[in-house]
Amino acid sequence: MSEANSFFKRSIKSVFSIFLTQTKVSRIEQLAESFVLIEMTGTKLKEANWNPGSKVQVNVGNLTYRTYTPIIVDKNEGKLSFLAYKRNDGPASTWIHSLKVGDPCEVFGPRLSLDFSNIEEDAILFGDETSFGIAKVLQNNIKKKSYSFLELNSLAEGKEALGHLGLTGHRMIERSPEGSHLQTIAKEMFDLISNIPDAKIFLTGRASSIQQVRAYLKNSGIPTNKLKVRAYWADGKKGLD
- Residues 30-64 have pLDDT tens digits of 999 999 999 999 999 998 888 999 999 999 988 88
Q: The pTM is what? A: 0.89
Per-residue pLDDT reduced to its tens digit, 122-166: 999 999 999 999 999 999 999 899 999 999 999 999 999 999 999
Backbone angles phi, psi at 130, to 5 degrees: -80, -5
What pLDDT score was predicted for residue 15? 41
What pLDDT score was predicted for residue 19? 63
What average pLDDT does this structure show over 157-179?
94
What pLDDT score was predicted for residue 190? 97
Long-range contacts of 135-140 (CB under 8 A, 24+ apart): 135/167, 135/170, 136/71, 136/83, 136/165, 136/166, 136/167, 137/52, 137/53, 137/69, 137/70, 137/71, 138/52, 138/53, 138/202, 139/167, 139/168, 139/169, 140/52, 140/71
Mean model confidence pLDDT for the chain: 89
Per-residue pLDDT reduced to its tens digit, 4-23: 555 444 544 444 455 688 99
What pLDDT score was predicted for residue 6? 53
* Chain mean position to CA 190: 23
pLDDT at 99 over 70: yes
